[in-house]
Amino acid sequence: MRYRTLPRLAAIAAICLSPLAASLPLLAAEPKINNFAVADAVTSVQLCGNRNSGSNKSAQPYRVVLGEQNGQSVLFVQWMNQPEGAGSWRGVAAHTQGFAEINDDKAGLTLQNLRCTAQGKGIRITANVVGGPKTTKRRQMRLDVGPALEKYEITFTPALK
């Protein structure tokens, strides 16, 4: 039984890290806001919403990835697709979006109580925010993403500046 566990863990790790490994050459050319220095930085992953809401196509959810790097939170949203001919659902990251307002090295923000809800074909992410300028203030973050690539709206209450 012990010998079966290691290959299963290796297979799970390969599945989880394959999108990361496939995108490593591309990530080197992207700004820092769109990548982690190490995969161990990931603290939570959630599937949320469906870009094909109301259609008969296969599910295309968003994957919300929260991590910690250099003592602050980093947040990414991935548009997931189902490979053609896959018998069971195996999501593949088709696009990854980072957020400069959060992931910037100088932002110094920590996100807590992260929640994601479907909003039509897009998603809404909310969180409590600690840190940043005027750290004595407590903040809330609301981030609306999708369904269009690279389109998002982020608000902090009270504002960061």
pLDDT at residue 87 in the model: 65
Give the residue from 44, 29, 39 showing the smallest Cα distance to 111.
Answer: 44
pLDDT at residue 136 in the model: 58
Pairwise CA distance, residues 32 & 104, whole Å = 8
Q: What values do phi and psi take at 30, rounded to 5?
A: -85, 160
The domain segmentation of the chain, as residue ranges, is 2-157
pLDDT at residue 94 in the model: 86
Burial tier of 67 (Cβ tally within 10 Å: 0-12, 13-18, 19+): buried
- Write out the chain's pLDDT in tens, 161 residues: 444 454 554 455 445 554 544 444 444 334 445 555 556 778 899 999 888 766 656 678 899 999 988 888 999 999 988 766 666 666 788 889 999 899 887 888 899 999 999 998 899 999 999 887 666 567 899 999 988 888 899 999 888 77
| Per-residue 3-state assignment (H helix, E strand, C coil) for 67-127 | EEECCEEEEEEEEEECCCCCCCCCCEEEEEEECHHHHCCCCCEEEEEEEEEEECCEEEEEE
- pTM here is 0.71
pLDDT at residue 1 in the model: 40
pLDDT at residue 97 in the model: 92
Judge if the upstream peptide bond of residue 83 is cis by omega within 30 degrees of 0.
Answer: no
